[in-house]
């Protein structure tokens, strides 16, 4: 495994870093997350013009045809800037499922519009218990006339308030196992009977409750095979887990140097705080944890991009980063002292995002159980 960037990836990283530094300063991050919509239209259009949403979409559908590893370069830079918005859900939960199991008509209809930033998409997956298990899937889709009718409620649907379309996972039949009988549908977010309410969350990332009341979906919007949607959901969760780990790693890579710079500038007892050995040791530990996390994440990204089996590596990376991101953001608050609890300073931003990222695509315990199974313990 080569952890160094190619020349093309380094150019992509620098371009992303420059754009985010200019268009997404800390004050703008706060404005967007505190806004009602959580979407900055200008920033979104700018990403579309740069081709970010179409990075992994094949060239036949107006994308750039690049790899998941290339996409991770963008995600890492976005994590450093804790950039809010629907990029993650549109790409990871919208374009990938359509690319993988969509019909040719669906690909032609949706992928070019995603690539240019015309569409915002998200996946309506989680329900009452908020767990990534098929047994929790209670929303039903029943065949009616020339299509289906969906009823039930989904929770924690990212940016559903801004979405043009939702990919909804619904139960279409009762199989021998909980995984059988689940089907995916592409649902127009403006369809009658569909309502969206933003849920208050610590990350302020605009997670929503989406209610389906007799929502009609034409049969041509069935995504993939009838009753065989869980395999796609598993892939979304697995890829989403490592992508979220990449984003979190980016945040960790911002936390450490930012804290170092702050301690160099802050003076106590007539000398910079960075000169105190106890604080140096804490920062050294933070750097070690960040570096160890990077290798786990990069390995999983490389394996996923190469099409190798990597469920264990992804679970290890997500479990590690879940804990590391929370711990580093907590230590950042400690290093800032009283300013660490002041909303005008950065620590609180990272701490809240760390808590939110922890549970996305499976919390630490969920991924530890996956590792346990992979090493033969269950």
pLDDT in tens, 124-155: 999 988 889 999 999 999 999 999 999 999 99
Number of other residues whose CB lies within 10 A of the CB of residue 358: 19
Q: What is the pLDDT of residue 268?
A: 87
Q: Is residue 133 part of a domain?
A: yes
Considering the domain architecture, whether residues 238 and 313 belong to the same structural domain is answered as: yes
On whether the CB atoms of residues 276 and 44 are closer than 8 A, the answer is no
Whether residue 189 lies inside any domain: the answer is: yes
pLDDT higher than 80, residue 197: yes
With a cut of 80, say whether residue 378 has pLDDT above it.
no
Q: Is the pLDDT of residue 175 over 90?
A: no
| pLDDT of res. 343 | 78
Given pLDDT bands bounded at 50, 70 and 90, which one contains residue 342?
Answer: confident
Closest CA to 39 of 91, 79, 84, 94: 84
Average of per-residue pLDDT across 298-319: 95
Domain C-terminal end among 174, 196, 227: 227
Q: Is the pLDDT of residue 1 over 80?
A: no
128 and 180 in a single domain? The answer is yes
Structure confidence at residue 339 (pLDDT): 84
115 and 131 in a single domain? The answer is no
Does 354 fall in a domain?
Answer: yes
Position 226 confidence tier, pLDDT thresholds 50, 70, 90:
very high
Tell whether the model's pLDDT for residue 185 goes beyond 80: yes
Residue 1 lies inside a defined structural domain of this protein: no
> Do 74 and 60 share a domain, yes or no?
yes
In a domain, 196, yes or no: yes
pLDDT at residue 283, rounded to an integer: 96
Judged against a pLDDT cut of 80, whether residue 227 lies above it is answered with yes
pLDDT interval class at 304 (50, 70, 90)? very high
Instruction: Judge whether residue 18 has pLDDT over 80.
Output: yes
Confidence of residue 112 (pLDDT cuts 50, 70, 90): very high
Report the 10 Å Cβ neighbour count for 7: 7
Do 250 and 197 fall within a single domain?
Answer: no
Per-residue pLDDT, 128: 87
Q: Is the pLDDT of residue 174 over 80?
A: yes
Q: Number of structural domains, the chain?
A: 3
Among candidate residues 227, 246, 280, the one where a domain is terminated = 227
Q: What is the pLDDT of residues 248-297, one digit of tens each?
A: 999 999 999 999 999 999 888 889 999 999 999 999 999 999 999 999 99
- pLDDT of 3 reads 73
Instruction: Note the pTM of the prediction, 2 decimals.
Output: 0.94
In a domain, 357, yes or no: yes
Mean pLDDT of 283-312: 96
Residue 2 domain-assigned (yes or no): no
Is 111 among the domain residues? yes
pLDDT average, residue stretch 173-188: 95
- Contact (CB, 8 A) for 171 and 140: yes
What was the pLDDT predicted at 130?
Answer: 86
Predicted local distance difference test score (pLDDT) of residue 176: 86
pLDDT value of residue 214 = 97
Given a cut of 90, whether residue 2 has pLDDT beyond it is no
* Beta-ladder partners of 267: 272
Range of the domain at 364: 231-374
How much is the pLDDT for 19? 95
**Residue 178 and residue 267 share a domain:** no
Per-residue burial over 292-311, b if 16 or more Cβ lie within 10 Å, else e, is ebbebbbbbbbbbbeeeebb
Residues 41 and 94 in one domain: yes
CATH assignment of the domain containing 346:
1.20.140.10
Q: Are 280 and 274 in contact (CB under 8 A)?
A: yes
Cβ atoms 196, 209 nearer than 8 A: yes
174: domain CATH number is: 2.40.110.10
Question: In this predicted structure, what is the pLDDT of residue 4?
Answer: 81
User: Are 115 and 182 within one domain?
Assistant: no
Q: Are residues 250 and 361 in the same domain?
A: yes
pLDDT score, position 137: 93
128 lies in the same domain as 115: no
Q: What contacts 24+ positions apart, CB below 8 Å, involve 9-14?
A: 9/69, 9/70, 9/73, 12/70, 12/73, 12/74, 13/73, 13/76, 13/77
* CATH number for the domain that contains residue 22: 1.10.540.10
Average pLDDT for the chain: 94
Last residue of a domain, one of 102, 119, 136: 119
Half-sphere exposure of 264 (CA within 13 A, CB side): 6
154 with 81, same domain: the answer is no
- CA separation, residue 199 to residues 97, 203, 223 (Å): 25, 11, 27
Whole-number pLDDT of residue 340: 85
* Residue 132 and residue 115 share a domain: no
Range 10-18 average pLDDT: 95
With the C-alpha atoms ordered 273, 274, 280, 286, is the resulting torsion angle positive or negative?
Answer: positive
């Amino acid at each position: 495994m080569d952890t160094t960037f190619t020349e093309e990836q380094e150019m992509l990283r620098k371009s992303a870093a420059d754009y985010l530094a200019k268009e997404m300063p800390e004050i703008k991050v706060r404005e967007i997350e505190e806004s009602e919509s959580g979407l900055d239209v200008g920033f979104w259009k700018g990403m579309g013009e740069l081709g970010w949403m179409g990075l992994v979409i094949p060239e036949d559908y107006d994308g750039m045809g690049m790899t998941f590893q290339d996409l991770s370069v963008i995600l890492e830079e976005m994590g450093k800037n804790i950039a809010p918005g629907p990029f993650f859900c549109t790409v990871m939960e919208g374009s990938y499922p359509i690319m993988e199991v969509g019909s040719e008509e669906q690909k032609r209809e949706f992928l070019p519009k995603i690539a240019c930033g015309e569409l915002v998409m998200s996946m309506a997956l989680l329900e009452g218990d908020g767990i990534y298990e098929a047994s929790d899937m209670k929303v039903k889709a029943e065949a009616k006339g020339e299509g289906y009718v969906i009823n039930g409620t989904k929770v924690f649907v990212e940016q559903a308030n801004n979405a043009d379309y939702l990919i909804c996972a619904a139960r279409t039949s009762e199989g021998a196992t909980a995984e059988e009988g689940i089907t995916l549908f592409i649902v127009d977010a403006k369809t009658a009977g569909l309502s969206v309410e933003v849920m208050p969350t610590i990350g302020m990332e605009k997670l929503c409750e989406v209610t389906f009341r007799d929502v009609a979906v034409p049969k041509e919007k069935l995504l993939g095979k009838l009753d065989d949607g869980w395999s796609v959901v598993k892939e979304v969760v697995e890829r989403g887990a490592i992508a979220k780990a990449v984003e979190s790693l980016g945040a960790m890579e911002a936390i450490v140097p930012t804290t170092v710079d702050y301690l160099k500038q802050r003076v106590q007892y007539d000398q910079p705080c960075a000169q105190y050995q106890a604080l140096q040791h804490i920062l050294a530990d933070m750097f070690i944890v960040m570096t160890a996390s990077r290798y786990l994440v990069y390995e999983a990204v490389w394996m996923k991009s190469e099409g190798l089996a990597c469920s264990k590596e992804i679970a290890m990376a997500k479990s590690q980063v879940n804990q590391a991101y929370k711990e580093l953001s907590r230590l950042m608050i400690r290093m800032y002292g009283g300013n660490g609890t002041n909303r005008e300073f950065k620590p609180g931003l990272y701490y809240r995002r760390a808590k939110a990222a922890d549970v996305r695509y499976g919390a630490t315990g969920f991924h530890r159980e996956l590792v346990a199974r992979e090493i033969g313990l269950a």
